[in-house]
Structure 1
Amino acid sequence: MGLPMNAILLVDKPAGISSAEVVRRVKSRVKPARVGHLGTLDPFATGLLPIMIGEATKLAPFIDGGDKEYAGLIRLGIETDTLDRDGAEVRRADVPAISAENLAQVGAQFTGAIEQVPPVYSAIKRAGVPLYRLARRGDDVAPPEKRSVEIKRLDLICEVVDAIRFVATCSPGTYARSLARDIGIALGTVAHLEQLCRTRNGTFSIADAMPLADVLEALDSGAAMPWLINLRDALVGLPELVVDIAAEKRLRNGDSRALDSQVPQGSPLFKVISDNGELIAVARATSRVTAIVERIFNLDA
């Protein structure tokens, strides 16, 4: 159908489907191209889900791992087994009066480097099996070990007596469901995450994302998709080295010496660009004058 097979789609995921289902729906429309995603969103969650198509799947090691930003709603007084609205209720507790000062203190308590226990219903594996599978089949699953995360920004607003609206910027590996649970405990009650929307994933923003339905419609119709991000533009901030066709051929034949004495300064990683402006490779400097190729991209594949 002439559709671009090597690009990143920024999808605004709706509630009610998994990230894997989004991948499946896109893949059915672009096969045989490979399709993947960055940063799993739970089925109840909405928001930014970067979808990588074709050679863009090779970009994951270079663009995953940036800070995430979320907006959501914490419901106080009820705890669920999954720590979100889709779970079964396991406990209720009274909700005390919450003052602005109290809320500010709790916000400060959870800002910066903190430790949190991930949910039992998570993709963390034990003996090779995701914990959520063990929990769903009724096994007695011990909580995962604590992990260190960083909350770089946390704004809390008491929307109604039993609900806290929040915006958080956090490091990779942070569980918003655990944050909701722990904030509830700090406020003297229990809690679960009722709403969650991811608004930023690394350098990607929800402002540039398209609703899943619109993406699928464009793929079905073959309509132009100006919101596609090409491989070169996806690697924001990396220095670039433009090489001629002779150097490109050497690189594609596995000869990293084609980069000798051309290594750009400023970052260990850099982009290698063809003379027609396409991403050829991502390379890593091993000295001021030498480098090795980390990934080669075949955009004609």
Structure 2
Amino acid sequence: MGHPVDGILLVDKAEGEISFDVIRRIRQVLSARKVGHAGTLDPLATGLLIILLGQGTKLSQWIMAQSKLYEGTLRLGIETDTLDSTGEIVAERPVPEGVAGKLEKACGKLMGEIQQRPPRFSAVKIKGQRAYRLARTGASFELPERKVFVEKLEVLSVDLPFVTLRVRCSAGTYVRSLFADLGKVLGTGAHLTALRRISSGGFRVENGVPSGKIQKGCDSSGLEKEVIPLYRALPGMAEVRVDRTLAGKIRKGYQPAWDELGEGFCLENGVSGYVKITKGKELIAVASVGEETARGSKAKVVRVFH
């Protein structure tokens, strides 16, 4: 086994690849003991995969919670059982020329906080089983709706029956379902034909390593240079710096008072209820910031990094 690698790796996944195959190759190249991810992509989709390495797996809840930006193409007039082009056709309707003029209004109806039903062919679990496995057996079931937030649903181009859109949405949003719902609003039905994840939080696909370059036997040192260290892996989170003595105590389980974290630290700077504690170029811990937090009270350290 190689020496431990801690951090995150940005990958640009190619179409047709299975996300877990990419993860497996990274594990082999880096001889990494712990490898995770911050959200996979369907084989049809391309774009940003965030791979978590070593102690980077402890960052999952914060990185996965970030909003996502996608560009995707839908085909109006045809619905499929998987809601994308890999599935069987279940309905066909004509696509009138006038539908192009209705797109902007229809997109507006699907923006903001909405109720969305995940696809039957998805990794959502039902009584311990993945939905897609049940769907393949022909079982009859319906997944419960969930709240998601669609910040942007913007038309980029129209070449009927195809429409390309840009989507910025909350974590947990299924673009397949969103596009299918858009087809329903337009009265034509629709399915996804192409999808690319452009960004997740502050990380963008153009900074990712092409997945095709990650192969068994490739130069591990070159790939290791692309790993983003832990202290840079939470760019949107407020930061407080501590000295060596306090860092050592926190790593041994000490819960410091907020006042100990330095006069320059402002509690109001906490992003998404958390703040990262660093020493130089080391991530020491992540602490939660709640409404009850006040000067003199103890910080609630929720993750420690060694």
> In the alignment, what sits opposite 2:245?
246
Question: 3-state SS of the aligned residue for 2:139?
Answer: coil
Which of 263, 272, 281 does residue 277 from structure 2 map onto?
272
**For the residues of structure 1 that align with 2:250 and 2:211, how far apart are their CA atoms?**
37
Question: 3-state SS of the aligned residue for 1:207?
Answer: helix
Q: How many residues align?
A: 296
Tell whether the 8 Å contact from 1:119 to 1:178 is kept in structure 2 after alignment: yes
Amino acid at match of 2:287: A
The offset of 1:219, in angstroms, is 5.5
Amino acid at match of 1:297: F
Q: Deviations over 1:218-256 (max 9, x none)?
A: 953422654421111111133333223322222222122
Distance 1:76 1:3, change over 3 A: farther
**For the residues of structure 1 that align with 2:49 and 2:119, how far apart are their CA atoms?**
21
Any unmatched runs of 5+ in structure 1? none
**For the residues of structure 1 that align with 2:4 and 2:153, how far apart are their CA atoms?**
39
Distance 1:88 1:165, change over 3 A: same
Tell whether the 8 Å contact from 1:117 to 1:178 is kept in structure 2 after alignment: yes
- Which deviates more from structure 2 when the two are superposed, residues 158-167 or residues 213-222? 213-222
**For the residues of structure 1 that align with 2:223 and 2:81, how far apart are their CA atoms?**
44
> In the alignment, what sits opposite 1:159?
158
**For the residues of structure 2 that align with 1:116 and 1:194, how far apart are their CA atoms?**
20
Alpha carbon RMSD of aligned pairs, Å?
2.2
**For the residues of structure 2 that align with 1:70 and 1:27, how far apart are their CA atoms?**
27
Question: 3-state SS of the aligned residue for 2:256?
Answer: helix
**For the residues of structure 2 that align with 1:214 and 1:153, how far apart are their CA atoms?**
32
> In the alignment, what sits opposite 2:56?
56
Question: 3-state SS of the aligned residue for 1:256?
Answer: coil
**For the residues of structure 2 that align with 1:10 and 1:170, how far apart are their CA atoms?**
20
Tell whether the 8 Å contact from 1:19 to 1:37 is kept in structure 2 after alignment: no
Tell whether the 8 Å contact from 2:38 to 2:60 is kept in structure 1 after alignment: yes
Which structure 2 residues correspond to residues 34-45 of structure 1 after superposition, within 5 A?
34-45=34-45
Any unmatched runs of 5+ in structure 2? none
Distance 1:238 1:188, change over 3 A: closer
- Which deviates more from structure 2 when the two are superposed, residues 2-11 or residues 82-91? 2-11
Tell whether the 8 Å contact from 2:100 to 2:158 is kept in structure 1 after alignment: no
> In the alignment, what sits opposite 1:101?
101
Distance 1:105 1:81, change over 3 A: same
**For the residues of structure 1 that align with 2:104 and 2:240, how far apart are their CA atoms?**
48
Amino acid at match of 1:229: I
- State, as a whole percentage, how many aligned pairs show the same letter: 40
Which of 274, 279, 288 does residue 295 from structure 2 map onto?
288
**For the residues of structure 1 that align with 2:248 and 2:258, how far apart are their CA atoms?**
12
**For the residues of structure 1 that align with 2:281 and 2:235, how far apart are their CA atoms?**
15
Q: Deviations over 1:20-50 (max 9, x none)?
A: 2221121122234211111221111000110
The offset of 1:123, in angstroms, is 1.4
**For the residues of structure 2 that align with 1:4 and 1:215, how far apart are their CA atoms?**
19
> In the alignment, what sits opposite 2:305?
297
Amino acid at match of 1:115: Q
